[in-house]
Structure 1
Amino acid sequence: MAEIRLTRVEQGQTKIKNVPIAVTPEGFWCCPSPVVFQKSLKTQNPLNKHKPSSPPPPKTGVQKKPVAVPVSVSVSERRTASSAPSRLVLSDEKQCSTAPERPPPTTTSVAAAERAPRQKIESLPKKVAIEFGEPGTCDMKVVLLGKQGFCVKLSVHRDVLTQKSGFFSEKLSEQSGLSCLQIADCEDVEIYVETVGLMYCKEMKQRLMKQSVSRILRILKVAEFLGFSSCIQSCLEYLEAVPWVGEEEEEKVVSTVLQLQAEGIGVNPVLKRISSDISNVPKDTLSHIIDLVLKSNEESGRREMKSIVLKLFRENNSLPSYARSTDICNDMIYRSCRSCLDSLLSLFKQAAEPDKLSEDHNPTAKCIALEADNLSWLLEILIDKQAADEFALMWANQQELAVLHAKLPTVSRYYVSCLSGRLYVGIGRGELLPSKDVRRLLLQTWLQPLMNDYNWLQHGCRSFDRKLVEEGIGRTILTLPLEDQQSILLSWLGSFLKTGDSCPNLQRAFEVWWRRTFIRPYVENQGNVAVSDSSSMLPKQRE
């Protein structure tokens, strides 16, 4: 490893921080540890604690040495002030050094005289000197001024900077004899130093491999500012290959890469991870995923994937309407619903055959349960998408399935009643709004089969919520005209008086119907009579 030449500290000059820097003839170098920069920043303005017993120093006892700021011709950067991470000042070699110190005047305070050198040195900005390449071969300086006066002086080679950086090439070509270039207001001095060091690396990929994604993004930002095209390309290749851990990191990568794309830099390989050029991929892929889930016979895997896909659909529903292909997705789901309904009807017909009914263990019962579960899952997706009205119509029109339902053993058919119960709950909650005729037909077709299976649902179905279903049925009934309410509730009353708890308890809906039928008309009539009496008395009072 080559030795690093650090600028010698002369008396009265800015204090220089010695840091472990290593540079090889091939250009491989070790950037100062971030701790070095952090410690330097922390110790720039230390608090000078005074002992209570010591007298306070007089204000006129010591004068601090003024620090000369290199002032020269300001050159506008490639970026605007709002987006540029630094400010450039071009200066010669003499202007990059600090001004000589003024001798402090004598003072009568001994304590103040002892503290004066310490205060003067610690209050000055820290400076780190770094030399790249072979010792003694550098032909220019680059001074980086960070926040709070932190300064890094880089000894570099003009030909390396002009070959690697479009920014340096442009600025140095404007003034060929320039020996010192100062970049002020650097937001990330550490990354500036590392990026300049990367200009000396022949194997940049190996240098970047051990870096984190967040650090690569910082390097990419500085490399783009400096016009360091080979570094930009290496960073993009790194981001294309390395995993992005978590959504937050992915968003940072995508945001940074899109900014580069807006400036005309090719970033398609990185963006291909999150986008596709094929237009029909979402539709075909969704259809394929749903088909795989619906046709799975493995209970655990099917249950897990149904939960995951349902969650992802809900996340998609939170997007604005213009960002979703709602109609295409709904059509695809309804095609799956029709396929499941056809399969369920075929299974009911098989299970209703005499030879199947005589079997103790009907193999079609498991298939019926699977298809009913598939339909329930698709219904949940449609309810979340606020598109389940058509499903209610499809289910209400399954009269043939309802007739076959009565012929099957309860253990084989009760899964279907769970689906009817979910529709009643959805209507009661306002999650779907089918028409009056559909609501009436849904109750006429499937309420009695549900009541026939109710005892089994309570004891054989763990996911069945009795109170929720009863409330949904009652609310659905009360949305119908009063005559339909009466017909359905009187039919329910006959079943409830025979079977008791084996029938849904719709007493709340019954009470509402009772008040609407017997009490409300009387109250309205009494109100009308009172109004008519008061109106007839008004002329007499006037007389």
Structure 2
Amino acid sequence: MIGQKKRQRVGSSSRISSSSSIDFPKPDGSLTETSAKPLLPSIPGGFNDPLTADVILSLQIDSDSDDSDHSSHHLHLHLHSNVLRRSKYFDALLSDRWQTNSADDDDRTFRINLKAASASMDPYLTLLQLLYSNDFSTAILTPSIALSLLPVALHLLFDECIRACIQFLEAVPWSEDEEKAILTIIPSLGHEESRELLARVSPPRNNSSEEMLHRLITASIGNHPYVASAKVKSFVAKMLKDFPSRDSVRRVFDRAFEASLKTVKESLEKYSSPDFRGDHDETEAIQRLNLHTAVYHGKDLLWLVERMIELRIGDTAVKEWSEQVSFVADLLRAFHDDVWRNIAPGLPALVLRCTARLADAVATGSVLAAREVRLKLVSVWLPVLIVCREKNVSPIPSGQKQLYQELEETFLRIISTLPMSDAELLLHHCLSFATRNVEDCPHLVSAFNTWFRRATRPPHDNENAT
């Protein structure tokens, strides 16, 4: 006999007794019952016709319950060998090799016992009827029906039904549970049979999820042609926040941050280049373009920084920001003239906001930066803060602190985490935070008091020992 493989069955689990009639499945996957206790339909010359049948098929399913109605698990069907041969399983059973042992010599009636490899007879009865018909479209109406028939078709090697089920599943949407069932049954299919199904659920590349995430980020920070940018950013932020792999999200954000920062830096470098400086009319358009480009991508950069801090994946951004010596030099050159005020007045605020978000993440411990990174972050960006403060270039939101004052406090908190020798050098540069009224700069007073308190503390025992 041909070996029968146990296959997981999905779909309807209702049971049909030997006295119930059957029809093609309804859209919900169940079978139609025409009356309370009708006989199985007998189609003259066709399905279950005892007068013309030459095969008696005994269909049964296992029952684990001793007190259950065994009649509901056993059916005798009158079928025809020429029809059953459409199934390779039955064709093998009816071959000359098995006829001697399977046929009754008096009436030449073959007797076949078939144990259903599922918890219900419904899909087996439906498939046996389909052997008498090619009308698969009438029988396969939903994914659940296709999924209930497909394991039986594989069990009985009914190729036409297998193809019909797969073609249906390829063409229609699936629920999440149906997709799980399809993934379970795919290993039982051949390569060609499963190719389209696999293409629908399998990423084409190992990093395809990250590529999709990167495209989402790119769409959110670029000129989206269909909907407002704010709506796209809100949607993308939600998707990224809920994405299960933090490592993937971190990598795509680092990639996007690096690209946006590079664009901003290149724009400022071109603007600050001696080749493009001066009052020549022919350079004005280029100067405007460079500054506008810096502002445009600076907004993208700020959005990326805020999302990275929100997701607690800003480690790489903090480290990268602390190493922008040449970028800061270009910014300082740009801020020392007044051209930017008429062309890109929002540029200083964007740069300060990026710095403030990253510095605050370090000061609060959201990003655990090494000593060297903390030192460089303050050392590199403190001059930008001082210039902006002196020129009063940052906006003053109504009812809020000035942006540069918030950054002052954050820098002083980071300085308090550094060795006293480093803190001493940096605090000297922070003297510009002072005001005529000492009460207006309590953060600076507190920072110096902290340093002096530590400086006057008696040496620790370990220091004496050395």
The bucket for the TM-score relative to the shorter chain is 0.5 to 0.7
What SS is found at the alignment partner of 2:316?
Answer: coil
Residue 143 of structure 1 aligns with an amino acid whose one-letter code is: L
What SS is found at the alignment partner of 1:267?
Answer: helix
Q: 1:185 to 1:317 in 2, by over 3 A?
A: closer
Alignment of structure 1 residues 159-238 onto 2, 5 Å: 159=81, 162-173=84-95, 174=98, 175-177=101-103, 178-183=110-115, 186-208=118-140, 210-211=141-142, 213-238=143-168
Q: Is the 8 A contact 1:141 1:179 kept in 2?
A: yes
In the alignment, which residue of structure 2 is the partner of 1:524? 458
Kindly provide the CA deviation profile for residues 306-347 of structure 1, in whole angstroms up to 9, marking residues without a partner as x. Answer: 44445555566716x6xx698798567524431232135556
Q: 1:170 to 1:201 in 2, by over 3 A?
A: same
Kindly provide the CA deviation profile for residues 385-413 of structure 1, in whole angstroms up to 9, marking residues without a partner as x. Answer: 74325531454541211331354435453
Q: Distance between the aligned counterparts of 2:434 and 2:231, measured in 1?
A: 39
Kindly provide the CA deviation profile for residues 112-144 of structure 1, in whole angstroms up to 9, marking residues without a partner as x. Answer: xxxxxxxxxxxxxx9974556354433323323
In the alignment, which residue of structure 1 is the partner of 2:433? 495
Residue 415 of structure 2 aligns with an amino acid whose one-letter code is: I
Q: Distance between the aligned counterparts of 2:413 and 2:38, measured in 1?
A: 78
Q: Distance between the aligned counterparts of 1:167 and 1:425, measured in 2?
A: 71
Q: Is the 8 A contact 1:439 1:476 kept in 2?
A: no
Q: Is the 8 A contact 1:344 1:372 kept in 2?
A: no
Q: Distance between the aligned counterparts of 2:418 and 2:302, measured in 1?
A: 25
What SS is found at the alignment partner of 1:179?
Answer: strand
State how many pairs are aligned.
408
**Displacement of 1:152:** 5.3
**Displacement of 1:252:** 3.7
Residue 367 of structure 2 aligns with an amino acid whose one-letter code is: E
**Displacement of 1:234:** 1.6
Pairing partner for 1:392 from 321, 337, 355: 321
In the alignment, which residue of structure 1 is the partner of 2:395? 456
**Displacement of 1:267:** 0.8
Residue 369 of structure 2 aligns with an amino acid whose one-letter code is: L
Q: Distance between the aligned counterparts of 1:292 and 1:418, measured in 2?
A: 22
Question: Cα RMSD between the aligned structures?
Answer: 5.1
Q: Distance between the aligned counterparts of 1:426 and 1:472, measured in 2?
A: 9
**Displacement of 1:372:** 1.0
Residue 485 of structure 1 aligns with an amino acid whose one-letter code is: A
Q: 1:365 to 1:493 in 2, by over 3 A?
A: same
Q: Is the 8 A contact 1:31 1:194 kept in 2?
A: no
Identity among equivalent pairs (%): 18
Pairing partner for 1:142 from 58, 74, 78: 58
**Displacement of 1:424:** 0.7
Stretch of structure 1 that moved more, 413-422 or 147-156: 147-156
Q: Distance between the aligned counterparts of 1:506 and 1:249, measured in 2?
A: 64
What SS is found at the alignment partner of 1:424?
Answer: helix
Kindly provide the CA deviation profile for residues 424-445 of structure 1, in whole angstroms up to 9, marking residues without a partner as x. Answer: 1232234263634522433333
Q: Which runs of 5+ in 1 are unaligned?
A: 1-13, 23-28, 44-125, 533-543
Alignment of structure 1 residues 29-428 onto 2, 5 Å: 29=24, 129=40, 131=42, 133=46, 135-136=49-50, 137-138=52-53, 139-145=55-61, 147=63, 148-149=68-69, 150-151=72-73, 153=75, 155-159=77-81, 162-173=84-95, 174=98, 175-177=101-103, 178-183=110-115, 186-208=118-140, 210-211=141-142, 213-245=143-175, 247-257=176-186, 259-261=187-189, 266-275=193-202, 293-296=220-223, 301-312=228-239, 318=245, 334-346=258-270, 368-379=294-305, 384=313, 386-398=315-327, 399-407=329-337, 408-409=340-341, 411-428=346-363
In the alignment, which residue of structure 1 is the partner of 2:7? none
**Displacement of 1:459:** 3.6
Q: Distance between the aligned counterparts of 2:234 and 2:42, measured in 1?
A: 59
Q: 1:465 to 1:393 in 2, by over 3 A?
A: closer
Q: Distance between the aligned counterparts of 2:406 and 2:32, measured in 1?
A: 64
Q: Distance between the aligned counterparts of 2:385 and 2:323, measured in 1?
A: 15
Kindly provide the CA deviation profile for residues 29-80 of structure 1, in whole angstroms up to 9, marking residues without a partner as x. Answer: 4579866799x9xx9xxxxxxxxxxxxxxxxxxxxxxxxxxxxxxxxxxxxx
TM-score by length of 1: 0.58
Q: 1:166 to 1:366 in 2, by over 3 A?
A: same
Q: Is the 8 A contact 1:368 1:413 kept in 2?
A: no
Stretch of structure 1 that moved more, 273-282 or 409-418: 273-282
Residue 447 (1) aligns with residue 385 (2): yes
Q: Is the 8 A contact 1:140 1:156 kept in 2?
A: yes
In the alignment, which residue of structure 1 is the partner of 2:367? 431
Residue 226 of structure 1 aligns with an amino acid whose one-letter code is: L
Q: Is the 8 A contact 1:31 1:193 kept in 2?
A: no
Q: Is the 8 A contact 1:220 1:235 kept in 2?
A: yes
In the alignment, which residue of structure 1 is the partner of 2:423? 485
- Higher alpha-carbon Rg: 1
Q: 1:430 to 1:355 in 2, by over 3 A?
A: farther
